[in-house]
Homo-oligomer: A and B are copies of this chain.
């Protein structure tokens, strides 16, 4: 172990953990002591509170109270209540966020709703290599609304230049799912506004990992995922945000009964609810919402500045240790080195990426692989320890030195980001 480690040692990591103001939050999670889980950017772990909330729904709310659960336990208000809990994490007012459906469906709802009345502007600008569902939903929308939606998906470097006087909407992901590169949300929003375009931000890889301030950026629209850094559970319901002054103008694309002004009047005619609630569509899935309700407890009273500081400390440490100790092995950093441009995960490129990730998993370190050659490691500040970073790099060194990837079977691995 004579490789350079930039003055860092395992003992120093233990000290950092001891001094970490967020260290106690790990106790909120159902995680074995020895577990090194660097994939919370894909699926956050179960919290004790989430388990308890789902258990309550099974044992009492649904299991015992049945239909009365809708009133007795406020199920019907969960979309708004959960929205209000997420709001402070993204710089929004409580009333401007609502939870329900998937990120894909919410992206469709907001983009369709906005483009419906955007004439004479018809262009939607997005980035090639954006998370696939964002691209697919927009492609589908252009097909569904020909003449009113024309999609311009351009390389990342050309996005700013592509926003012109034909552009109605810019759809971007704040933190890139592969590279973790961030956009400057305020700057891009301002530039789009200058050209008369609105921006829809996908916050899936940001929310709960770094502070987001939609409000001061005057961002127009946003959607995001709750099963990554918010730990809502596999396929947990997503959220959407609409800037207050836009809310009354945007007619919902999917006019469901839960978005009606008076859903329980059972009227024949649709009248949209005030505010973001109009974008609710069908009956909310209560088991998923209850898990998210519990999961959000760990964010109560959390200092997002401290969260961000630890996130950057962890990713800095990981980049530094990997580059110091794995130098001969040809790992290429694809995540920005500059902290301000980096989300909460770190990706390296390596031709044997798939096998390396499998070998790491066999050693108890969970990261993930993104085709064709990206190794991705998420550093969730709420439960990842500095020693985890140290030990993960130890494992990576062992895998690389031992060429352990050649011993893993090369079957197609399917994972959900």
Contacts and interface: CB of A to CB of B under 8 A. Distances in A.
Interface string A246-266: 000001111111111001111
Nearest to A30: B63
Interface in A117-173: 128-129, 131-133, 135-137, 139-141, 143-145, 153
A234 interface: yes
A136 B416 contact: no
A116 B281 CA distance: 21
A22 interface: no
Contact of A140 (B104, B140, B144, B254): B254
Interface stretch (A43-51, A183-191, A302-310, A345-353): A43-51
* Contact residues on A (Cβ < 8 Å of other chain), bracket: 35 or more
A137 B259 CA distance: 10
A81 interface: no
A284 interface: yes
Given A39-B67, A108-B254, 7 more contacts: A42-B67, A101-B102, A101-B105, A102-B281, A135-B269, A140-B254, A264-B414
A62 B46 contact: yes
Contacts of A116: 143-144
Interface of A: 30, 37, 39, 42-43, 45-46, 51, 54-55, 57-58, 62-63, 66-71, 75-76, 101-105, 108, 112, 116, 128-129, 131-133, 135-137, 139-141, 143-145, 153, 225, 227, 233-238, 251-260, 263-270, 281-289, 291, 361, 366, 368, 370-371, 412-416
Contacts of A288: 285, 287-288
Given A30-B63, A54-B287, A76-B416, A136 B260 contact: yes
A258 B253 CA distance: 21
B415 A67 contact: yes
Task: Give the top 10 A-B pairs by smallest Cβ distance, nearest first.
Answer: A102-B282, A140-B255, A104-B282, A104-B256, A133-B257, A234-B286, A235-B285, A136-B270, A287-B287, A46-B63
